[in-house]
Amino acid sequence: MRFKLKSEEDRRNVIAYLATYQTTMGKAPEAMEQMTALPSTDTPGRVCVTNGAMGQHLFIVETENARISEMLKPGEQLCSDGAQGGKISVFEHPDDQEGCTRLMAPNKSDTLVRYMEFDRCEWGTHNQ
């Protein structure tokens, strides 16, 4: 059976998913519990991102009216007003130029589950 993804974004999502799957092979079952999908939560009039990863990272939320950035510790959240949706990004360090970016639908949020270089981060909504 031939399988072809026409969308560049779909191809990147499949590559990120497969890379995440390969890195978990041989890990303890407790590590697999972190790999479950997290629901995208409704955030009326806002675009939000939560740091669900182990370390502190630089997060950016961009909407039509604002661009805010902040170093978030695990469990912290960053939001910006934006009923039209926007873009969320994460970088391992403030000086880094490579990170992970996702487009967000209006009134939605996402959670970074695990940071991986070269736009291969695992997000809570990957499996939805």
Query: Are the CB atoms for 92 and 115 separated by under 8 Å?
Result: yes
**What is the pLDDT tens value at each position of the chain, 128 positions in all?**
466 777 777 777 776 666 665 444 444 444 434 444 444 566 678 899 999 999 999 999 999 889 999 999 999 999 998 888 899 999 999 999 999 999 998 888 899 999 988 888 999 987 66
Q: What order do you get walking across the sheet with 46-51 strand by strand?
A: 77-81, 46-51, 109-114, 122-123
Pick the CATH number of 8-123 from 1.10.150, 1.10.3470, 1.10.287, 2.60.40: 2.60.40
Please give the pLDDT value at position 117.
Answer: 82
* b/e sequence 104-122, b meaning 16+ C-beta within 10 Å: bebbbbbbbbbbbeeebbb
Q: Rounded CA gap, 107 and 84, in Å?
A: 8
| Model confidence, pTM | 0.66
Please give the pLDDT value at position 37.
Answer: 44
Widest distance between CA atoms in the chain: 46
